[in-house]
Every structure is written in structure tokens, then in C-alpha cells.
Amino acid sequence: MDISVVVPLYNEAESLPELTAWIERVMRENGFTYEVIFMNDGSTDNSWEVIKQLSEKNSCVKGICFRRNYGKSPALNTGFRHVKGDVVITMDADLQDSPDEIPALYKMITEEGYDLVSGWKKKRYDPLSKTIPTKLFNATARKVSGIKNLHDFNCGLKAYRRKVVERIEVYGDMHRYIPYLAKNAGFTKIGEKVVHHQARKYGTSKFGLNRFVNGYLDLGTLWFLSKFGVKPMHFFGLLGSLMFLLGFISVVIVGAMKLYNMHAGNPYTLVTDSPYFYLSLTAMILGTQLFLAGFVGELVSRNAAGRNDYEIEEELL
């Protein structure tokens, strides 16, 4: 099979027939063998009934229905586990992503050798309250991830070589950082294509402004896991050691100042009367706790089931 199209959705019943017909037309015109997997993320409208009707009319249309709403990342991750196509395309169900982009995305994967191609909605039909935070978010993601050539990490329209989706796990709200997940899995041939962005035709957006706050928190988590996920002591141990050493040196300085004043006959106070003593003591306690956190993290990491799972490209044995 040439292409698997994975479409996560939540309450998008109105747009599904039009989207299916559009995808079918593009596939037929280009002679692609394909499947469309609709991931119904616990919709409360009649989206699932519409999907079943579409599947009866077209055997290429398939669907998976969650019992409740879990989020876009679980929907994508589950869809990825069921794809059969050599190239996997993801797109949103709200008709803002154009299926006409599929042939060019397919070509970039199969002929130009990319592992992943992310769409870039260069011209957006969104309000400033959404576009400005999006630009700031993407600038931060480029800096942290090191993927300098991507302008729109969160674009739902992406193309993947199938082995990419087989190797990555999309969890929580990590769908925003799939290129970063792919890079961490060793897939570095990541490209970008300017795609057409259409105004929403039916319904309303399912995402609020809180996604920007959660996005930054998730980015911090992903950065930490990529750097220190299997060696937490390198982070907590180093930070804890530095904090303990700083506190210890401060305590020594406070004590030495008192001894100097005693020896010189200058007025002096008890060490415990100095606020610097308690600040130093606090630093030492925090440093010890951070060091122990790193130690516990190492114990957890060493006993993790996948601690020695490494991505192997080829073997000559």
C-alpha cells in the first residue's frame, strides 16, 4: 500500500464526508493505493455514525473509536500502530489541511529521501491572538530542539516514512513535537513544505490558549528526557553537588569571619544570628536532596525495561 492517512478528530461530523471525498479524488487522480484511518477521539456528536457510513461506501475508509476523549496525541499514537502504507500522512479533520498537498508530500518522502516532512502554513487564516503566540512557540521549539529549518512544529499536515511512526511514541500532548521525537529516535532527514491553510468551514476550534502554556512545559520535559532521561544523575547530581559546595563554602566563610573578629578583638555575633548561616544551611540541604533525587533516578533508569533499547539502522553479522 502506498499511503495511510491518519485523521484524528473530535466532533467533526459535518466535515467528514467532504474530507473523505476530497482524499478519494486526490488518490484516484494520482493512482495511489491508500487507506484512511479516522481516529474518533470520543466525539459526542454523530461523528462515529458518519465514519461507519463512509466505511460502508468505501472499503479504504477505516475507523477507530475511543470510549472517551483522550487527546490528539493518543489518537495519533493509536493510529500509527495500525497503518499499512509505506508513507503515512496525518491531517486534521476540519478541512483546514488540503489533501491536494498529499502527492507532493509523498514525493518528498519516496524520491527526495526525507524521513519526515512537516507542513508550514506560511499564510494563516487565524486571529492575531493565535498567530503571535504560535510564532513565539515555534521560535522556542527551533532553539531547544535544534531543528532550525522548521517554522511550524504543530502543523497537523505531515508526512512520514512508516518506520518513523513505528519507532516513536506520541504521548501526553507531544503531538506538537513529533519532529523532535523523530530526531531523538535518530531520524534526522526532516524537511518542510509550504502548504495551503484554509479557513475553518464547520464547527469551532477544540484547542484553547492553555495549549501554549502546556506546550512550553512539554517542551521542557522532552528536552530533559532527551538529555538526561537515561542519566539523571548527570543533572541532579551535578546541580546538587554545586549547591551543597556553595552552601558549605558559605558556612566556612561565616565561621571564619567570626573567628577573625574574635582574634582581632572586633565585635562579633553568634554564627546562628547571621542570616547567611541559614541560607548556607538551606543550600546544603537542597543540594543533598537534589543529589539523592539523581541517585533515585539512576536506580529507576537502571531497572527500566527499555534501558538498552537502541535504534539499529542496518546489520552486517
139 φψ region: left (φ > 0), alpha (ψ -120 to 50), beta (else): alpha
Q: Is residue 124 situated within a structural domain?
A: yes
- Based on the fold, state whether residues 123 and 41 are members of the same structural domain: yes
**What distance in Å separates the CA atoms of residue 222 and residue 305, rounded to the nearest whole number?**
19
Say if residue 105 is in the same domain as residue 192. Answer: yes
Residues 163 and 189 in one domain: yes
Q: Give yes or no: residues 114 and 261 share one domain.
A: no
pLDDT one-digit tens code per residue, 138-181 = 888 898 899 998 998 989 999 999 999 999 999 888 898 999 99
Distances (CA, A) of 68 to 43, 64, 206: 7, 12, 15
State the pTM of this model: 0.79
Q: Which domain holds residue 141?
A: 3-228
Looking at the fold, whether 242 and 151 belong to one and the same domain comes out as no
CB 191 within 8 A of CB 183: no
One-character DSSP codes across 67-84: SS---HHHHHHHHHTT--
At residue 204, the pLDDT reads 63
- DSSP annotation of 273 reads G
Which of 170, 193, 228 is the last residue in one of the domains?
228
**How many Å apart are CA 309 and CA 317, to the nearest integer?**
18
Judged by DSSP in three states, 226 sits in helix
Our count of domains for the chain comes to 2
Q: Please name the residues in contact with 90: beta carbons below 8 A apart, sequence gap of 6 or more.
A: 5, 6, 7, 8, 76, 79, 156, 157, 158, 160
Q: Domain check: are 139 and 274 in the same one?
A: no
pLDDT at residue 299 is higher than 90: no
Whether 313 maps to a domain, the answer reads: no
Phi and psi of 314, rounded to 5°? -145, 160
Out of 13-17, 51-55, 123-127, 134-138, pick the least confident.
Answer: 123-127
Q: What is the mean pLDDT of residues 13-31?
A: 96
Mean pLDDT of the region 286-292: 93
Together in a domain, 186 and 94: yes
Residues 140 and 40 in one domain: yes
Using the predicted structure, report yes or no on whether residue 28 has a pLDDT greater than 60.
Answer: yes
Claim to verify: residue 218 and residue 244 sit in the same structural domain: no
As a whole number, mean pLDDT of residues 234-246 equals 92
Rounded Cα distance, 118 and 101, in Å: 11
